[in-house]
Amino acid sequence: MVATLEIRNLHASVDGDEEMILRGLDLTVKKGEIHALMGPNGSGKSTLANVLMGNSAYEVREGEVLLDGENLLDLEPDERSRAGLFLAFQYPVAIPGVTLGNFLRHAINARMKAEDPDSKGMPIPKFARLMREKMTQLQIDHSFAGRYLNDGFSGGEKKRAEVLQMAVLEPEIAVMDETDSGLDIDALRIVADGVNALTGPNMGALVITHYQRMLNYIKPDYVHVLYGGKIVESGGPELALELEEKGYEWIRERHEALAQAEA
């Protein structure tokens, strides 16, 4: 069976808040597919990313999220990760004192232990080889592994570190939350090359972005527009170009008119 992320009628708010941010979102992402999710500020893009990963600052009010039929909403973030979900953070957190290499080794070992409680984890030489291979592939300086996680990283370095983590952990489905924000064009190309190298038959991706720019480098199979907490338009790559050309205003107008008509 092809790994599939299914989001059904998802309603969510900030924890403790009355106001609903996601209001009945439906989306299915299969392994091997690249979906772009676009939308204006405040449409709920980042909320979706955080709800999928299980950030406790958000509360799911209704709906379900399944990964290969398993309900992710019952799982803690670490269990979701081990089930095959990955989130590339928009704002990766700096953790002083924990090196990127050590962190990723723990992440891999946590997976091995979850599968086999007696596992001793990946031998260090094997892990070092894996890191070198992935860093070379992503054109990342090998000294990166010895630096404290995101501590003092530039915006571009943080995003590259996110892509490196994705490459090492090999998720089934990756959600990329505005990975293009804060990147200059060179960094954007490197990050996009990395994503392109990783997607394919072994991984599906949900690329969340405000701008079409990223989609010059990562070619989506499907483009969706999020507005008012639900997906209001879906199409092929041409939809992204249309948004680039016309902006989000026409979406706003069309759906406000629809909402009024419904009311």
Partner 1 sequence: MAVIRRRSALPQAPSYTLADVHALSDAHDEPQWLRARRAAAWAIYQDTPMPYQEEEWRRTDYRHIRWDEAERLTQANGATAAAVPGKNLAPLTGDEQGGLLVIVDGKVVRSELADELCRQGVIFTDLQTAAREHETLVEPHLMTRAVRPADGKFAALHAALWDYGVFAYVPRGKIAELPLHVVCYSTRAGAALGHVLVVAEDNAQATMQVEYASAESAAQSAYIGATELIVGDAGNLRYVSLQDWNRETFEFSHQRGIVGRDAQLDWVNGVMGSRLTKAFIEVDAVGTGASARVSGFFFADRDQFFDLDTQQNHHAPLTNTDLLFKGAARDRARTLWQGMIKSLPQMQRIDGYQVCRNLLLSNEARMDSIPGLEIEADDVACSHAATFGTLEEEPIYYLMSRGITRPQAQLMIIEGFFDELLQRIPFERVRRRLMNEIEAKIIG
In 31-84, DSSP assigns E strands to: 34-38, 58-67, 70-71
Q: Is 124 in the site for partner 1 (CB under 8 A)?
A: no
Q: Is 155 in the site for partner 1 (CB under 8 A)?
A: no
Instruction: Write down the least CB distance from residue 70 to partner 1, Å.
Output: 15
Our separate counts of H helices and E strands in the chain read 8, 12
- Between CA 225 and CA 230 the distance in angstroms is 8
Q: Is 41 in the site for partner 1 (CB under 8 A)?
A: no
Which residue, chain included where needed, has tokens 């990127």? Answer: 100
Q: Is 222 in the site for partner 1 (CB under 8 A)?
A: no
Binding mask 58-97 for partner 1 (x = CB under 8 A): ------------------xxx-xxx---xx-x--xx-xxx
Which one of the spans 62-70, 108-116, 118-126, 197-205 is the region binding partner 1 (CB under 8 A)?
108-116
Q: Cα dist. 3→69, 227, 255 in Å?
A: 9, 27, 32
Q: Is 159 in the site for partner 1 (CB under 8 A)?
A: no
10, β-bridge pairs: 25
Instruction: Write down the least CB distance from residue 115 to partner 1, Å.
Output: 11
Instruction: Write down the least CB distance from residue 97 to partner 1, Å.
Output: 3
- Between CA 122 and CA 110 the distance in angstroms is 10
Instruction: Write down the least CB distance from residue 39 to partner 1, Å.
Output: 22
- Between CA 212 and CA 113 the distance in angstroms is 40
Q: Max Cα separation, the chain?
A: 64
Q: Is 32 in the site for partner 1 (CB under 8 A)?
A: no
Residues that bind partner 1 (CB under 8 A): 53-57, 76-78, 80-82, 86-87, 89, 92-93, 95-98, 103-104, 106-107, 110-111, 114, 148, 165, 169
